[in-house]
Amino acid sequence: MKEWILSILAIAIVAGGLGTGAQAEPVRVRLRRALQSVDIQAMDLKLSSLGSQRSVVPVAAVAPRLESIRIRFKPTKSGIPIWKIQYRDSKQTVESQTLPLEVHGEVMRLGLEPVPRHLKLFPREDGRIDVITELDVESYLSGVLPSEMPASWPLEALKAQVVASRSYMYSLMNEKQGEHFHLEASVFDQVYSMMNDVITNPHHRGTISQVIRETKDQVLVDAQGEIVRAYYHSDCGGQTEEPGRVWGTGAKMGTVKDPSCPLSPHGLWTFKIKRKELGERLGRYLSWPTDDPFMSLEVIDRSPSRRVGNLRVLFNRGEAILSAQDLRRVLGFSRIKSTNFQLHWGAEDLTIHGRGFGHGVGMCQWGARTLANRGLSYQQILKHYYMKARIQPLSEVGGWSAQDLKKKAKSGQQAITL
């Protein structure tokens, strides 16, 4: 237990030790979504409500010791739920009616994972719970950078990554000002975690701090001066892709042939699945009648980068169209690592041979690593992948001056929607 607490204290230092002053607007990050119940462990655990003056009003508290609670909620006609908080050790149960429910504690864990010391719980219409935390920009980036790119990689690659991550973050903060969170803490946006290799390696902690400090407030902007939604991925497989060809929307960023990622472990991959299992999975996803047997799967179109756009799913009595991204969703993003693949049918199974890992839009991380090892600066790496963008200080971006940030923070506090 002592070793665990010391490890989590180190995490807290990393998460909170990079700030350089008051942050006008915190980054709201959804750590978990749609939980039936929330299990929390923490030292000096407190629950509090959000009053009209945003003051913290204790609802329940315990002495500074490790405490475990489980939280559920019961919907009410007023829309403000009744939270049921069960203290696991004492078996005591208390109730609180507030929106959201705030939880404070030191060395806090959500389930088994370390999390920041302040959480907000929001009820969902489906009866489940979203868990949100608020972080200053530097603390957020210190949890994203080593989760998205190994801290042992070249400094210039890490700097390119943090500028891309910062740009992506601010783009979504601007778009989702009135919502109760800005970003997911997962691959659906950017992976944020307090448990990564910087915790056990002091050198890596220093590297992450240096990279964030030396690129402070730098973002990518487009020709109109707007912050770029700077997508990135693990391995492009030889050529990057336009966002519109992956998600159907998004400004054209330009693509680049990129032979600079030959050392990626995801350069080539293979996945095999039985025809019967494939048919069952596709049928469930498409809500297809179970009495109509699956026949085959075939590619309809490809982009100029050779990525699959859509596929035709053939059943005995009909057919359906499925995007390649949806096929990845059905079979698993870690199995179908990209949409740059070929289908090879056998008598009883399908073998999929592919290249690269990820959606292919924006910066290729393995390519950035190779370019950094060749001596390119992070500015040159970013220009290679985001050829239509330029690096600019946040203070010089329209709507993001210090005064603008304070206005955003104020409006965000007053107009959070569920």
**Are 76 and 203 members of one domain?**
no
Residue 123 confidence (pLDDT) above 70: yes
Among 135, 167, 194, the domain boundary falls at: 135
**Are 250 and 371 members of one domain?**
yes
CB atoms within 10 A of CB 43: 18
**Are 284 and 325 members of one domain?**
yes
Is 142 inside a domain boundary? Answer: no
Q: What is the pLDDT of residue 16?
A: 44
Segments of 266-409 assigned E as strands: 268-274, 294-299, 310-315, 319-323, 341-345, 349-355, 363-364, 390-393
Check if the beta carbon of residue 180 is closer than 8 Å to that of residue 26.
no
Residue 23 confidence (pLDDT) above 60: no
Residue 249 confidence (pLDDT) above 90: no
Check if the beta carbon of residue 176 is closer than 8 Å to that of residue 124.
no
Q: What is the pLDDT of residue 92?
A: 83
**Are 109 and 162 members of one domain?**
no
**Are 63 and 113 members of one domain?**
yes
Is 20 inside a domain boundary? Answer: no
- Pairwise CA distance, residues 142 & 123, whole Å: 28
- Pairwise CA distance, residues 371 & 263, whole Å: 12
* Residue whose token pair is 């603390």: 139
**Are 219 and 314 members of one domain?**
no
Q: Are strands 27-35 and 310-315 parallel, antiparallel or unpaired?
A: unpaired
For 57, the 3-state DSSP assignment is strand
**Are 164 and 257 members of one domain?**
yes
Residue 216 confidence (pLDDT) above 50: yes
Residue 60 confidence (pLDDT) above 60: no
Among 304, 327, 355, the domain boundary falls at: 355
Q: Please give the structure tokens belonging to residue 199.
A: 């915790």
User: What amino acid occupies position 212?
Assistant: I
Is 18 inside a domain boundary? Answer: no
Over residues 154-159, mean pLDDT: 99
What are the distances in angstroms from CA 37 to CA 33, 114, 180, 212, 393? 11, 17, 19, 35, 42
- Pairwise CA distance, residues 328 & 65, whole Å: 45
Q: How wide is the angle at C-alpha 252 spanned by C-alphas 246 and 256, nearest 5°?
A: 80
Residue 408 confidence (pLDDT) above 80: no
Check if the beta carbon of residue 156 is closer than 8 Å to that of residue 372.
yes
Give the list of residues 6+ apart from residue 220 with CB closer than 8 angstroms, or none: 163, 164, 167, 227, 228, 230, 382, 386, 389, 390, 391, 392
- Cis, bond preceding 100 (omega within 30 deg of 0): yes
Is 151 inside a domain boundary? Answer: no
- Pairwise CA distance, residues 308 & 122, whole Å: 38
What is the rounded end-to-end Cα distance, in angstroms, of the chain? 38
- Pairwise CA distance, residues 320 & 311, whole Å: 8
Long-range contacts of 167-171 (CB under 8 A, 24+ apart): 167/219, 167/220, 167/227, 167/228, 167/229, 167/230, 168/229, 168/230, 168/231, 168/232, 169/27, 169/137, 169/140, 169/141, 169/144, 170/219, 170/227, 170/394, 170/400, 171/227, 171/228, 171/229, 171/230
Is 305 inside a domain boundary? Answer: yes
Is 146 inside a domain boundary? Answer: no
**Are 30 and 130 members of one domain?**
yes
Is 141 inside a domain boundary? Answer: no
Is 104 inside a domain boundary? Answer: yes
Domain extent at residue 192: 158-263+360-414
**Are 163 and 227 members of one domain?**
yes
pLDDT per position as a tens digit, 374-392: 999 999 999 999 999 999 9
**Are 128 and 31 members of one domain?**
yes
Q: What is the pLDDT of residue 51?
A: 39
Percent of the chain with pLDDT over 90: 69
- Pairwise CA distance, residues 153 & 66, whole Å: 37
Its pTM stands at 0.86
**Are 215 and 277 members of one domain?**
no
Residue 13 confidence (pLDDT) above 60: no
**Domain tally for the chain?**
3
Among 355, 374, 390, the domain boundary falls at: 355
**Are 259 and 320 members of one domain?**
no
Q: What is the pLDDT of residue 17?
A: 43
Q: What is the pLDDT of residue 8?
A: 37
The alpha carbon torsion through 241, 245, 246, 248 (nearest 10 deg) reads 150
- Pairwise CA distance, residues 292 & 134, whole Å: 49
Q: Measuring CA to CA, which residue among 265, 277, 276, 293 is closest to residue 331?
A: 277
Residue 316 confidence (pLDDT) above 50: yes
Residue 357 confidence (pLDDT) above 80: yes
Mean confidence (pLDDT) of the chain = 87
CB atoms within 10 A of CB 64: 11
Residue 407 confidence (pLDDT) above 80: no
Q: Please give the structure tokens belonging to residue 32.
A: 């978990």
